[in-house]
């Protein structure tokens, strides 16, 4: 992200009117490798290809704010791998972490990993350090520390169904697990900021909060996310493209000031749920329109979303969730051109 893009992002978060209106997208391995002409595994494995793909994105779409920007990631595997999860990397499919906690009793002996040495975290930091000069040479800086959220990590370690069931059958052990994971995540974000002082934002991705109701979110989500978002940075960004009506009213008190949601809820409803205190990043349909539609479909969807808003303050126009596979250059340019024309 360039200095100008960073200032524009902060202005949107502060409720200022920015012209032309910025478009922003979360981009990572579901979209970048194939769009840039490489396999997913090569994108993960080769520094030069990872850098090439990210540079191609910023050069092709110079007006787009890509978040977090030059994301060094290994799919869903980075954080679970630190806890000993076996991770599978098919040649050209998304990687996945295998369940590692087979009984609730195993939580009793669990301790926080060390992000300096454990799992894939050291590889993430090494990639960013090695490529920092090239990134800054292109006019960009690394602005965000990134992690999956505590419920998301817990669901990989235990299995989604088993984790959700344990909230009911053994809440004390679930709290212990979430506390250990949160301790690790706080240390992981601190290490990223220590290594790269240009970081002034945090991105946490957690769809599992959309799988639980309000009461369970208050008990098992809110306290741990509140701890994470106490990290002293300017941008506190949460992604959850599952259901969000149960959790959205709590975003302001959790410290979140930027939220990327799914597309099954309107921005107008979310503005009401968050009392217009949180910048909303969204939310035309990602697969059906941005990936599967024509440029004309994209333009119509963007115009319709804009027309549906009484006030576009604290809105960063995007799709619902991260950039999905298959989005064409033409469709993304149609999105950006339409937003600029509406400014």
Taking only the tens place, the pLDDT of each residue in 288-324 is: 999 999 999 999 999 999 999 999 999 999 999 999 9
Question: Mean pLDDT across the stretch 113-125?
Answer: 98
User: For residues 283 and 286, what is the distance between their CA atoms, to the nearest angstrom?
Assistant: 8
pLDDT given for residue 292 in this prediction = 98
pLDDT given for residue 9 in this prediction = 98
Question: Mean pLDDT across the stretch 235-240?
Answer: 98
**How many other CB atoms are found less than 10 A from the CB of residue 191?**
18
Q: Which residues pair with 65 in a beta bridge?
A: 24
pLDDT given for residue 192 in this prediction = 98
User: For residues 104 and 170, what is the distance between their CA atoms, to the nearest angstrom?
Assistant: 8
Cis peptide bond upstream of 283, omega within 30: yes
Question: Are 26 and 319 spatial neighbours (Cβ–Cβ below 8 Å)?
Answer: no
Token couple for 86: 């076996």
Confidence of residue 219 (pLDDT cuts 50, 70, 90): very high
Residue spans of the domains in the chain: they are 3-342
* CATH number of the 3-342 domain: 3.20.20.210
Query: Mind listing the pLDDT tens digit for each residue in 81-113?
Result: 999 999 999 999 999 999 999 999 999 999 999
Token couple for 272: 């009401």
**For residue 62, is it left (φ>0), alpha (ψ between -120 and 50) or beta?**
alpha
């Amino acid at each position: 992200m360039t200095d100008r893009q960073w200032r524009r992002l902060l202005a949107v978060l502060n409720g200022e009117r920015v012209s032309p209106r910025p478009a922003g997208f979360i981009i990572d391995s579901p979209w970048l490798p194939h769009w840039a002409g490489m396999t997913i595994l090569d994108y993960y494995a080769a520094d030069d290809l990872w850098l090439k793909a990210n540079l191609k994105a910023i050069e092709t779409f110079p007006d787009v704010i890509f978040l977090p920007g030059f994301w060094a990631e290994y799919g869903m595997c980075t954080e679970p791998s630190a806890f000993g999860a076996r991770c599978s990397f098919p040649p050209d499919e998304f990687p996945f972490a295998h369940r590692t906690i087979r009984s609730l009793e195993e939580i009793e002996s669990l301790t926080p990993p060390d992000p300096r040495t454990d799992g894939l975290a050291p590889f993430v930091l090494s990639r960013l350090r090695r490529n920092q000069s090239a990134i800054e040479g292109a006019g960009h800086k690394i602005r965000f520390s990134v992690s999956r959220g505590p419920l998301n990590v817990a669901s990989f370690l235990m299995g989604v169904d088993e984790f959700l069931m344990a909230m009911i059958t053994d809440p004390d052990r679930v709290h212990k697990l979430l506390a250990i994971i949160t301790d690790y995540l706080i240390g992981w974000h601190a290490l990223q900021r220590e290594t790269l002082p240009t970081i002034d934002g945090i991105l946490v991705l957690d769809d599992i909060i959309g799988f639980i109701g309000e009461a369970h979110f208050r008990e098992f989500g809110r306290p741990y996310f509140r701890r994470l978002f106490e990290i002293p940075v300017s941008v506190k960004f949460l992604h959850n493209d599952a259901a969000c009506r149960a959790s959205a009213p709590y975003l302001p008190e959790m410290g979140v000031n930027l939220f990327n949601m799914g597309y099954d809820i309107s921005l107008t409803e979310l503005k009401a749920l968050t009392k217009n205190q949180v910048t909303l990043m969204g939310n035309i349909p990602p697969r059906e329109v941005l990936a599967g539609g024509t440029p004309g479909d994209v333009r119509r969807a963007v115009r319709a979303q804009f027309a549906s808003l009484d006030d576009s303050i604290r809105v960063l126009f995007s799709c619902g969730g991260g950039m999905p596979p298959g989005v064409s250059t033409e469709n993304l340019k149609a999105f950006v051109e339409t937003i600029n024309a509406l400014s």
